[in-house]
Amino acid sequence: MRKDFMRHTAFTKYAAIITASCLTLGMMSGCGQSNDNNQTGAYDVTGGAAMQSNTVTGAVEQTQQRTQAALTGQAAETLSAEGSTDNAASGKNVTSAQPAEAAQAAQQSDAVQNQGTSAQNSYAVTLPDTSEARPVVVSGEKTLGDTGRTFVNDYNPSDRSYAASDNYISPKGNRQYGTTTTVEYYSSTLGTMRKADVILPYGYDASKSYPVLYMLHGMGGSKKSWSDMGVKYIVENVHYENGVPDMIIVCVDCFVSTQDQDSVAIRDMSAAYDLTESEIMNDLMPYINSNYSTKTGRNNTAIAGYSLGGRGALAIGFKHQDQFGYIGAFSAASGVIPNGSGRSILATLMDDFVLEYGDFPMILINVGETDGICGDSCRFYDDALTQRGIKHIFYEMEGDHEGTVWQNGLYNFVKRIFV
Protein backbone atom coordinates (compact mmCIF):
# COMPACT_ATOMS: atom_id res chain seq x y z
CA MET A 1 0.00 0.00 0.00
CA ARG A 2 1.41 3.36 -0.93
CA LYS A 3 2.04 5.38 2.21
CA ASP A 4 1.02 8.58 0.49
CA PHE A 5 -2.59 7.41 0.08
CA MET A 6 -4.93 10.22 1.07
CA ARG A 7 -2.04 12.47 2.15
CA HIS A 8 -2.69 16.21 2.23
CA THR A 9 0.86 17.47 2.05
CA ALA A 10 1.12 18.05 -1.70
CA PHE A 11 -2.04 20.04 -2.32
CA THR A 12 -2.48 22.84 -4.81
CA LYS A 13 -3.13 26.43 -3.79
CA TYR A 14 -6.82 25.69 -3.29
CA ALA A 15 -6.03 22.94 -0.81
CA ALA A 16 -3.73 25.32 1.05
CA ILE A 17 -6.67 27.73 1.27
CA ILE A 18 -8.74 24.92 2.79
CA THR A 19 -6.08 24.22 5.38
CA ALA A 20 -5.53 27.87 6.28
CA SER A 21 -9.22 28.78 6.31
CA CYS A 22 -10.53 25.68 8.05
CA LEU A 23 -7.90 25.49 10.74
CA THR A 24 -8.03 29.23 11.38
CA LEU A 25 -11.77 28.84 11.93
CA GLY A 26 -11.30 25.89 14.26
CA MET A 27 -12.52 23.31 11.77
CA MET A 28 -10.69 20.08 11.10
CA SER A 29 -12.76 18.88 8.18
CA GLY A 30 -13.19 15.34 6.88
CA CYS A 31 -12.03 14.17 3.55
CA GLY A 32 -13.28 11.28 1.64
CA GLN A 33 -13.18 8.42 -0.71
CA SER A 34 -14.80 7.24 -3.89
CA ASN A 35 -18.18 8.15 -5.36
CA ASP A 36 -20.63 5.56 -6.64
CA ASN A 37 -20.39 7.04 -10.13
CA ASN A 38 -16.64 6.46 -10.24
CA GLN A 39 -16.15 2.96 -8.93
CA THR A 40 -13.07 1.03 -9.88
CA GLY A 41 -14.76 -2.33 -10.13
CA ALA A 42 -12.26 -3.72 -7.64
CA TYR A 43 -14.98 -5.43 -5.63
CA ASP A 44 -17.54 -7.85 -6.98
CA VAL A 45 -20.88 -6.73 -5.50
CA THR A 46 -21.86 -10.35 -4.96
CA GLY A 47 -18.56 -11.07 -3.27
CA GLY A 48 -17.84 -13.92 -5.66
CA ALA A 49 -14.36 -12.84 -6.71
CA ALA A 50 -11.45 -12.62 -4.30
CA MET A 51 -9.68 -9.27 -4.53
CA GLN A 52 -5.90 -9.35 -4.56
CA SER A 53 -3.67 -6.92 -2.67
CA ASN A 54 -2.61 -5.02 -5.78
CA THR A 55 -6.28 -4.48 -6.64
CA VAL A 56 -6.85 -2.85 -3.26
CA THR A 57 -3.87 -0.61 -3.91
CA GLY A 58 -5.20 0.42 -7.29
CA ALA A 59 -8.64 1.16 -5.85
CA VAL A 60 -7.39 3.35 -3.04
CA GLU A 61 -5.00 5.22 -5.32
CA GLN A 62 -7.94 6.12 -7.56
CA THR A 63 -10.03 7.22 -4.59
CA GLN A 64 -7.12 9.42 -3.49
CA GLN A 65 -7.23 11.23 -6.81
CA ARG A 66 -10.98 11.74 -6.59
CA THR A 67 -10.72 13.01 -3.02
CA GLN A 68 -8.03 15.51 -3.88
CA ALA A 69 -10.12 16.69 -6.82
CA ALA A 70 -13.11 17.19 -4.54
CA LEU A 71 -11.11 19.08 -1.94
CA THR A 72 -9.28 21.27 -4.43
CA GLY A 73 -12.40 22.15 -6.43
CA GLN A 74 -15.57 23.99 -5.48
CA ALA A 75 -15.30 23.09 -1.79
CA ALA A 76 -12.10 25.13 -1.52
CA GLU A 77 -13.65 28.02 -3.39
CA THR A 78 -16.68 27.89 -1.08
CA LEU A 79 -14.54 27.90 2.04
CA SER A 80 -12.29 30.69 0.93
CA ALA A 81 -15.19 32.80 -0.33
CA GLU A 82 -17.53 32.34 2.61
CA GLY A 83 -15.07 32.48 5.49
CA SER A 84 -17.88 32.39 8.05
CA THR A 85 -19.79 29.72 9.89
CA ASP A 86 -22.90 28.92 11.88
CA ASN A 87 -22.32 28.43 15.56
CA ALA A 88 -24.61 25.48 16.08
CA ALA A 89 -23.96 25.28 19.80
CA SER A 90 -25.48 28.73 20.41
CA GLY A 91 -27.86 28.80 17.49
CA LYS A 92 -26.49 32.19 16.44
CA ASN A 93 -24.99 33.21 13.14
CA VAL A 94 -21.38 34.29 13.09
CA THR A 95 -20.75 37.45 11.07
CA SER A 96 -19.16 36.87 7.68
CA ALA A 97 -15.43 37.48 7.44
CA GLN A 98 -14.45 40.97 6.36
CA PRO A 99 -12.40 41.51 3.19
CA ALA A 100 -9.26 42.13 5.22
CA GLU A 101 -9.71 38.78 6.95
CA ALA A 102 -10.22 37.05 3.62
CA ALA A 103 -7.06 38.67 2.29
CA GLN A 104 -5.17 37.55 5.36
CA ALA A 105 -6.41 33.99 4.89
CA ALA A 106 -5.24 34.09 1.27
CA GLN A 107 -1.82 35.33 2.38
CA GLN A 108 -1.64 32.53 4.90
CA SER A 109 -2.52 29.98 2.25
CA ASP A 110 0.23 31.31 -0.02
CA ALA A 111 2.67 31.01 2.87
CA VAL A 112 1.61 27.44 3.47
CA GLN A 113 2.17 26.60 -0.17
CA ASN A 114 5.56 28.29 -0.37
CA GLN A 115 6.96 26.97 2.87
CA GLY A 116 6.21 23.34 2.06
CA THR A 117 4.67 20.59 4.07
CA SER A 118 6.45 21.46 7.30
CA ALA A 119 4.45 24.70 7.46
CA GLN A 120 1.08 23.20 6.63
CA ASN A 121 0.02 22.89 10.25
CA SER A 122 1.29 26.31 11.33
CA TYR A 123 -2.18 27.84 11.35
CA ALA A 124 -3.86 25.09 13.33
CA VAL A 125 -6.16 26.17 16.11
CA THR A 126 -4.51 25.74 19.48
CA LEU A 127 -6.72 23.67 21.74
CA PRO A 128 -6.33 23.67 25.53
CA ASP A 129 -3.41 21.52 26.65
CA THR A 130 -4.82 19.46 29.47
CA SER A 131 -2.41 16.55 29.33
CA GLU A 132 -0.57 17.66 32.47
CA ALA A 133 -3.77 18.00 34.50
CA ARG A 134 -5.34 14.65 33.66
CA PRO A 135 -7.03 12.68 36.42
CA VAL A 136 -5.93 9.10 36.90
CA VAL A 137 -8.47 6.88 35.12
CA VAL A 138 -7.07 3.38 34.74
CA SER A 139 -3.79 3.78 32.97
CA GLY A 140 -3.16 7.24 34.38
CA GLU A 141 -1.19 9.68 32.27
CA LYS A 142 -0.57 9.23 28.60
CA THR A 143 2.04 6.59 27.97
CA LEU A 144 4.14 5.69 25.00
CA GLY A 145 3.25 2.56 23.09
CA ASP A 146 5.80 0.06 21.87
CA THR A 147 6.36 2.32 18.85
CA GLY A 148 7.34 5.29 20.99
CA ARG A 149 4.18 7.18 20.04
CA THR A 150 1.28 8.25 22.25
CA PHE A 151 -0.94 5.36 23.30
CA VAL A 152 -3.73 5.44 25.87
CA ASN A 153 -5.59 2.25 26.81
CA ASP A 154 -7.95 2.56 29.74
CA TYR A 155 -9.28 -0.97 29.25
CA ASN A 156 -5.95 -2.81 29.41
CA PRO A 157 -3.01 -0.55 30.30
CA SER A 158 -0.47 -3.24 29.41
CA ASP A 159 -1.79 -3.41 25.85
CA ARG A 160 0.00 -0.60 24.03
CA SER A 161 0.52 -1.98 20.56
CA TYR A 162 -1.44 -1.26 17.39
CA ALA A 163 0.62 -3.57 15.18
CA ALA A 164 -1.49 -5.36 12.56
CA SER A 165 -0.91 -8.79 11.10
CA ASP A 166 0.74 -9.17 7.72
CA ASN A 167 -1.49 -8.53 4.69
CA TYR A 168 -4.48 -7.94 6.94
CA ILE A 169 -6.34 -5.96 4.25
CA SER A 170 -6.23 -8.81 1.70
CA PRO A 171 -7.54 -12.35 1.29
CA LYS A 172 -5.21 -14.91 2.82
CA GLY A 173 -4.53 -18.48 1.82
CA ASN A 174 -7.53 -20.78 1.67
CA ARG A 175 -9.71 -18.63 3.92
CA GLN A 176 -13.31 -18.13 2.88
CA TYR A 177 -14.84 -14.65 2.89
CA GLY A 178 -18.40 -13.39 2.86
CA THR A 179 -20.54 -11.71 0.24
CA THR A 180 -21.41 -8.07 -0.41
CA THR A 181 -24.91 -7.11 -1.51
CA THR A 182 -26.37 -3.70 -2.28
CA VAL A 183 -29.76 -3.28 -0.60
CA GLU A 184 -32.43 -0.65 -1.13
CA TYR A 185 -34.61 0.73 1.64
CA TYR A 186 -37.05 3.58 2.11
CA SER A 187 -35.64 6.70 3.74
CA SER A 188 -38.23 8.60 5.73
CA THR A 189 -35.47 11.17 6.29
CA LEU A 190 -35.50 12.09 2.58
CA GLY A 191 -38.80 10.58 1.47
CA THR A 192 -37.12 8.44 -1.19
CA MET A 193 -35.41 5.08 -1.70
CA ARG A 194 -31.77 4.83 -0.65
CA LYS A 195 -29.00 2.21 -0.89
CA ALA A 196 -26.49 0.63 1.47
CA ASP A 197 -24.01 -2.22 1.14
CA VAL A 198 -24.42 -5.22 3.44
CA ILE A 199 -21.52 -7.63 3.90
CA LEU A 200 -22.55 -10.98 5.32
CA PRO A 201 -19.92 -13.24 6.92
CA TYR A 202 -18.91 -16.44 5.19
CA GLY A 203 -21.42 -19.17 6.01
CA TYR A 204 -24.14 -16.75 7.06
CA ASP A 205 -27.02 -18.76 8.50
CA ALA A 206 -30.41 -17.12 8.99
CA SER A 207 -31.15 -19.54 11.82
CA LYS A 208 -28.36 -17.90 13.82
CA SER A 209 -28.07 -14.27 14.90
CA TYR A 210 -25.12 -11.94 14.41
CA PRO A 211 -23.84 -8.65 15.87
CA VAL A 212 -23.79 -5.68 13.50
CA LEU A 213 -21.08 -3.16 12.62
CA TYR A 214 -22.16 0.06 10.89
CA MET A 215 -19.41 1.73 8.82
CA LEU A 216 -19.41 5.46 7.95
CA HIS A 217 -17.26 7.17 5.31
CA GLY A 218 -15.77 10.66 5.05
CA MET A 219 -16.39 13.68 2.84
CA GLY A 220 -16.62 12.85 -0.84
CA GLY A 221 -17.06 9.16 -0.13
CA SER A 222 -19.84 6.65 -0.65
CA LYS A 223 -21.08 3.32 0.62
CA LYS A 224 -18.28 1.75 -1.44
CA SER A 225 -15.46 3.62 0.30
CA TRP A 226 -14.81 1.07 3.05
CA SER A 227 -14.98 -1.78 0.54
CA ASP A 228 -12.30 0.03 -1.46
CA MET A 229 -10.15 -0.20 1.68
CA GLY A 230 -10.79 -3.92 2.18
CA VAL A 231 -13.25 -3.83 5.08
CA LYS A 232 -14.48 -7.37 4.38
CA TYR A 233 -10.98 -8.80 4.52
CA ILE A 234 -9.93 -6.77 7.55
CA VAL A 235 -12.91 -7.91 9.60
CA GLU A 236 -12.86 -11.56 8.56
CA ASN A 237 -9.08 -11.85 8.94
CA VAL A 238 -9.48 -10.63 12.52
CA HIS A 239 -12.21 -13.25 12.95
CA TYR A 240 -9.91 -16.02 11.75
CA GLU A 241 -6.85 -14.83 13.67
CA ASN A 242 -8.32 -13.47 16.90
CA GLY A 243 -11.57 -15.36 17.32
CA VAL A 244 -13.93 -12.39 17.32
CA PRO A 245 -17.48 -13.41 16.37
CA ASP A 246 -18.77 -13.35 12.82
CA MET A 247 -20.61 -10.09 12.23
CA ILE A 248 -22.78 -8.34 9.67
CA ILE A 249 -21.17 -5.20 8.21
CA VAL A 250 -23.38 -2.36 6.96
CA CYS A 251 -21.66 0.27 4.81
CA VAL A 252 -23.76 3.43 4.99
CA ASP A 253 -24.13 6.15 2.37
CA CYS A 254 -23.50 9.12 4.66
CA PHE A 255 -24.32 11.86 2.15
CA VAL A 256 -28.01 11.99 3.01
CA SER A 257 -29.32 14.19 0.24
CA THR A 258 -31.08 14.03 -3.10
CA GLN A 259 -28.45 16.32 -4.60
CA ASP A 260 -25.18 15.40 -6.23
CA GLN A 261 -22.39 15.50 -3.66
CA ASP A 262 -20.02 17.33 -5.99
CA SER A 263 -22.48 20.17 -6.55
CA VAL A 264 -23.18 21.36 -2.99
CA ALA A 265 -21.35 23.88 -0.83
CA ILE A 266 -19.26 22.63 2.06
CA ARG A 267 -21.77 23.74 4.70
CA ASP A 268 -24.64 21.98 2.95
CA MET A 269 -22.49 18.91 2.47
CA SER A 270 -21.64 18.63 6.17
CA ALA A 271 -25.31 19.18 7.04
CA ALA A 272 -26.22 16.26 4.77
CA TYR A 273 -23.64 14.09 6.56
CA ASP A 274 -25.15 15.06 9.91
CA LEU A 275 -28.46 13.52 8.77
CA THR A 276 -26.77 10.12 8.94
CA GLU A 277 -27.97 9.80 12.52
CA SER A 278 -31.64 10.08 11.48
CA GLU A 279 -31.05 7.83 8.49
CA ILE A 280 -29.52 5.02 10.56
CA MET A 281 -31.81 5.17 13.57
CA ASN A 282 -35.13 5.70 11.77
CA ASP A 283 -34.61 3.93 8.47
CA LEU A 284 -31.55 1.77 7.92
CA MET A 285 -31.26 0.00 11.28
CA PRO A 286 -34.94 -1.04 11.27
CA TYR A 287 -34.48 -2.35 7.73
CA ILE A 288 -31.38 -4.37 8.66
CA ASN A 289 -33.01 -5.83 11.77
CA SER A 290 -36.11 -6.78 9.77
CA ASN A 291 -34.30 -8.40 6.87
CA TYR A 292 -31.31 -10.07 8.52
CA SER A 293 -30.78 -12.27 11.54
CA THR A 294 -29.27 -9.71 13.90
CA LYS A 295 -28.48 -9.40 17.55
CA THR A 296 -29.60 -6.02 18.84
CA GLY A 297 -28.81 -3.64 21.67
CA ARG A 298 -25.60 -1.99 22.78
CA ASN A 299 -23.73 -5.21 23.48
CA ASN A 300 -24.27 -6.34 19.90
CA THR A 301 -24.03 -3.17 17.83
CA ALA A 302 -20.96 -1.16 16.81
CA ILE A 303 -20.42 1.97 14.74
CA ALA A 304 -17.19 3.24 13.22
CA GLY A 305 -16.02 5.73 10.61
CA TYR A 306 -13.23 7.93 9.36
CA SER A 307 -12.99 11.74 9.16
CA LEU A 308 -16.56 13.11 8.93
CA GLY A 309 -17.68 9.53 9.44
CA GLY A 310 -15.58 9.31 12.60
CA ARG A 311 -17.23 12.47 13.88
CA GLY A 312 -20.60 10.93 13.07
CA ALA A 313 -19.76 7.64 14.77
CA LEU A 314 -18.77 9.41 18.01
CA ALA A 315 -21.94 11.52 18.05
CA ILE A 316 -24.35 8.74 17.10
CA GLY A 317 -22.79 6.33 19.58
CA PHE A 318 -23.05 8.79 22.46
CA LYS A 319 -26.55 9.94 21.52
CA HIS A 320 -27.85 6.38 21.33
CA GLN A 321 -26.02 4.54 24.07
CA ASP A 322 -28.88 2.09 24.44
CA GLN A 323 -28.20 0.91 20.89
CA PHE A 324 -24.42 1.23 20.47
CA GLY A 325 -21.80 -0.14 22.84
CA TYR A 326 -18.77 0.14 20.55
CA ILE A 327 -17.46 3.28 18.84
CA GLY A 328 -14.53 3.55 16.45
CA ALA A 329 -13.47 7.06 15.35
CA PHE A 330 -10.52 7.21 12.97
CA SER A 331 -9.13 10.69 12.22
CA ALA A 332 -12.45 12.08 13.42
CA ALA A 333 -13.40 15.60 12.32
CA SER A 334 -14.23 18.33 14.81
CA GLY A 335 -17.60 19.42 16.12
CA VAL A 336 -18.85 16.47 18.14
CA ILE A 337 -18.73 18.68 21.24
CA PRO A 338 -17.74 22.35 21.54
CA ASN A 339 -13.97 22.81 21.43
CA GLY A 340 -13.87 26.34 22.77
CA SER A 341 -12.86 28.03 19.52
CA GLY A 342 -16.31 29.57 19.08
CA ARG A 343 -16.18 29.35 15.28
CA SER A 344 -16.54 26.27 13.12
CA ILE A 345 -17.89 25.56 9.69
CA LEU A 346 -19.20 22.28 11.10
CA ALA A 347 -22.25 22.20 13.36
CA THR A 348 -21.73 21.14 16.96
CA LEU A 349 -23.54 17.84 17.40
CA MET A 350 -23.67 17.46 21.21
CA ASP A 351 -23.21 19.51 24.35
CA ASP A 352 -20.81 17.09 26.02
CA PHE A 353 -19.67 13.50 26.44
CA VAL A 354 -21.94 12.05 29.13
CA LEU A 355 -22.32 8.38 30.06
CA GLU A 356 -25.88 7.08 30.41
CA TYR A 357 -25.29 3.34 30.82
CA GLY A 358 -21.82 3.18 32.31
CA ASP A 359 -18.63 2.86 30.31
CA PHE A 360 -18.78 1.79 26.70
CA PRO A 361 -17.35 -1.70 26.18
CA MET A 362 -15.06 -0.03 23.63
CA ILE A 363 -14.29 3.45 22.35
CA LEU A 364 -11.26 3.61 20.09
CA ILE A 365 -9.88 6.79 18.50
CA ASN A 366 -6.77 6.91 16.35
CA VAL A 367 -5.08 9.49 14.15
CA GLY A 368 -1.96 9.95 12.06
CA GLU A 369 0.66 11.91 13.96
CA THR A 370 1.16 14.30 11.02
CA ASP A 371 -2.57 14.72 10.28
CA GLY A 372 -3.00 18.46 9.74
CA ILE A 373 -6.73 18.09 9.09
CA CYS A 374 -8.10 16.18 12.09
CA GLY A 375 -5.09 15.71 14.35
CA ASP A 376 -6.05 18.42 16.83
CA SER A 377 -9.68 17.37 16.96
CA CYS A 378 -8.76 13.77 17.82
CA ARG A 379 -6.37 14.89 20.54
CA PHE A 380 -9.10 17.16 21.87
CA TYR A 381 -11.55 14.23 22.05
CA ASP A 382 -8.93 12.15 23.85
CA ASP A 383 -8.40 14.88 26.43
CA ALA A 384 -12.14 15.46 26.83
CA LEU A 385 -12.87 11.78 27.45
CA THR A 386 -9.98 11.49 29.89
CA GLN A 387 -11.07 14.57 31.85
CA ARG A 388 -14.54 13.05 32.20
CA GLY A 389 -13.21 9.68 33.31
CA ILE A 390 -14.62 7.88 30.28
CA LYS A 391 -12.68 4.77 29.31
CA HIS A 392 -11.27 4.71 25.80
CA ILE A 393 -8.29 3.87 23.65
CA PHE A 394 -6.43 6.60 21.83
CA TYR A 395 -3.28 6.27 19.79
CA GLU A 396 -1.25 8.13 17.22
CA MET A 397 0.56 6.31 14.47
CA GLU A 398 2.79 7.10 11.55
CA GLY A 399 0.71 8.72 8.85
CA ASP A 400 -1.35 11.68 7.75
CA HIS A 401 -5.06 11.96 6.95
CA GLU A 402 -5.01 8.73 4.99
CA GLY A 403 -6.42 5.29 4.44
CA THR A 404 -3.60 3.33 6.07
CA VAL A 405 -4.45 5.03 9.38
CA TRP A 406 -8.15 4.20 9.03
CA GLN A 407 -7.50 0.60 8.02
CA ASN A 408 -5.26 0.15 11.05
CA GLY A 409 -7.86 1.79 13.27
CA LEU A 410 -10.54 -0.59 12.01
CA TYR A 411 -8.26 -3.60 12.53
CA ASN A 412 -7.58 -2.66 16.15
CA PHE A 413 -11.20 -1.74 16.77
CA VAL A 414 -12.61 -5.03 15.44
CA LYS A 415 -10.09 -7.02 17.54
CA ARG A 416 -11.75 -5.59 20.64
CA ILE A 417 -15.49 -5.69 19.94
CA PHE A 418 -18.19 -8.27 20.67
CA VAL A 419 -15.80 -10.25 22.87
Predicted pLDDT at 389: 96
Q: Residue 151: which of 379, 387, 414 has the closest Cα?
A: 379
> DSSP label at 261?
G
| Domain-embedded: residue 3 | no
Q: 166-217 pLDDT, tens per residue?
A: 999 999 999 999 999 999 999 999 999 999 999 999 999 999 999 999 999 9
Average pLDDT over residues 283-305: 98
- What percent of the chain stands above pLDDT 90? 58
d(Cα 214, Cα 19) in Å, to the nearest integer?
30
Parallel, antiparallel, or unpaired: how do β-strands 301-306 and 326-330 relate?
A: parallel
| Domain-embedded: residue 256 | yes
Predicted pLDDT at 94: 31
Predicted pLDDT at 142: 58
| Domain-embedded: residue 193 | yes
* pLDDT for 409 beyond 80: yes
| Domain-embedded: residue 37 | yes
| Domain-embedded: residue 278 | yes
Give long-range contacts, CB 8 A cutoff, 24+ apart: 165-168.
165/237, 165/241, 165/411, 167/53, 168/233, 168/234, 168/237, 168/238, 168/407, 168/411
Q: What SS3 class is residue 48?
A: coil
For residues 414 and 161, the answer to whether their CB atoms sit within 8 Å is: no
| Domain-embedded: residue 322 | yes
- Give the domain CATH number at 266: 3.40.50.1820
Q: What SS3 class is residue 306?
A: strand
| Domain-embedded: residue 39 | yes
Q: What SS3 class is residue 216?
A: strand
| DSSP state letters, 110-134 | HHHHHH-GGGTTTT-------GGGP
Predicted pLDDT at 30: 36
| Domain-embedded: residue 242 | yes
Sign of torsion over alpha carbons 362, 368, 369, 374: negative
φ and ψ of 352, to 5 deg: -170, 165
For residues 139 and 152, the answer to whether their CB atoms sit within 8 Å is: yes
For residues 374 and 382, the answer to whether their CB atoms sit within 8 Å is: no
Cα Rg of the chain (Å, integer): 20
Quote the domain boundaries for residue 278: 13-414
More confident residue, 389 or 263: 389
Q: Residue 378: which of 316, 322, 326, 328 has the closest Cα?
A: 328
Q: 120-147 pLDDT, tens per residue?
A: 332 232 333 333 332 222 333 456 666 5
Lowest mean pLDDT among 21-35, 133-147, 297-311, 353-367: 21-35
Q: Give the chain's domain count.
A: 1
